[in-house]
Structure 1
């Protein structure tokens, strides 16, 4: 469903690991996604993007998904499991240090927005240490913030058996920039009792398929260009720029 089994690191015997492999490590979360989406939504999406991208990039292997992230803003909902920024940073740093002796390059494929600050601090350290690592996200251009139409559509495409559309409700539909102060101060539950930030109305598997194609194409494009900003994030390539460089946004 998600890609070629030959790209799975967990299913590969060590003598078959290619020299200087490109390792894609999906980073997700276990957190509430409203009354209609499963707790592993971010992990499912990150893993799917990584697996599909790996089939288009030479010598790529997909490492097992990290299912826990920094999800403290969702702590008011049963089921959420957050390891926090400090623990996540330690896990990312030690994982990359362990991968580096045999991997050529490492890409952290992130599915949860709450992980981004930690990714920035971890990758600044790792790149200072000389590791060839970067990260990229799985955002849907123009999508809503959390458990709305965008994520619901993607999950209807990837795992429809775990989507309960009959329970879907609209949440706070303000842009994330407007919501962020309240989210940071009080958490998601204070802003949206359902946990939804957006509106799932109109979500469809067809829309989700198109969104996945967009996210995978972006990941492949960024990985191929390998233009890394000062937060360790893979940037969109700019026509006329040479690859394999660091840019300062």
Structure 2
């Protein structure tokens, strides 16, 4: 018996990477998952953000007209805050910005709308800057995150549950895993100044206790539904962040 989400985690199957060029329709919408290769505690794989971003992109695409093509994931992002842990690979904001900008410029030669589906919070400032720049250049580019209200910050209940649903064979035992469960806004100043390891020796920000595949299915479905609504609605602010349908547009930044 195969795990439902496991096949979706394989790049190229059913997406852009698996197509031959004559099979690419004219002016398609393209969703580009953006993740990271970074520590996710002692129990989750370094690919966690990428696995989740790819799954959200693929499942959201299936709910949208067209459907949009799903590009191979950008699997290394800006993860400097996790540099204290072996295995983390980060290219930093400047290099990630170049990757995002050139991805849009390349896709725009044959694609229509381009939406990055982001699974890593550390990529957000770069997405804001790069996608905003692309919109100024006239490209139909935007981005959306893989988030749910009330989710914990990193490698806690939220991500552990989603990974138990998507890729249970990659989840290690987590019964004794402890992390810093304070709200992210409270942690942020120390995280920025000293990195994750100074705040949480385990690398976990949150608490994976009680995580389950059943909860992960519900969380993933909420992520997908929210992403599909925003992508389908098509409204974005000046940074390219897609807005929820009916949400007021924020005032333009100076």
The TM-score, its normalising length taken from structure 1, stands at: 0.94
Matched, 1:13 2:13: no
Q: Does the alignment pair 1:98 with 2:106?
A: yes
Structure ranking higher in strand proportion = 1
| 1:113 partnered with 2:116 | no
Deviates more, 1:168-177 or 1:25-34: 168-177
> Could you tell me which residue of structure 2 aligns to residue 165 of structure 1?
173
**2:29 corresponds to 1:22:** yes
Q: Deviations over 1:96-152 (max 9, x none)?
A: 000012111000000000000000010111000000010000012201110000000
Identify which range, 6-15 or 172-181, moves more after superposition.
6-15
Q: CA deviation at 1:166?
A: 4.1
Question: Any unmatched runs of 5+ in structure 2?
Answer: none
Counterpart residue number, 1:248: 251
Cα 1:102–1:210 shift into 2, 3 Å: same
Alignment of 1:44-193 (within 5 A): 44-59=51-66, 60-166=68-174, 168-193=176-201
1:45/1:6 Cα in 2 relative to 1: closer, same or farther (>3 Å)? closer
Shift of 1:248: 3.3
Q: Distance in 2 between matches of 1:247 and 1:224?
A: 19
Q: CA deviation at 1:88?
A: 0.1
Question: How big is the shift at 1:168?
Answer: 4.9
Say which of 220, 229, 235 aligns to 2:237. Answer: 229
1:171-216 CA-to-partner distances (Å, cap 9, x unmatched) read: 1110000000000000000000000001000000000000010000
Instruction: Give the Cα–Cα distance (whole angstroms) in 2 for the partners of residues 169 and 137 of structure 1.
Output: 26
TM-score of the superposed pair, with normalisation by structure 2 = 0.92
- When residues 247 and 7 of structure 1 are mapped into structure 2, their CA distance, relative to the original with a 3 A threshold, is farther
Partners of 1:7 and 1:55 within 8 A in 2 = no
Q: Which runs of 4+ in 1 moved over 4 A?
A: none
Indicate how the Cα distance of structure 1 residues 143 and 166 shifts in structure 2: closer, same or farther if over 3 A, else same: closer
Q: Which blocks of at least 5 consecutive residues in structure 1 are unaligned?
A: none
Question: Which of 192, 196, 208 is matched with 1:200 structurally?
Answer: 208
Query: Does structure 2 retain, via aligned residues, the 8 Å contact 1:36–1:168?
Result: no
1:16 positional shift:
1.0
Q: Per the alignment, in what secondary structure is the counterpart of residue 101 of structure 1?
A: coil
Aligned residues: 243
**Aligned residues: CA RMSD:** 1.6
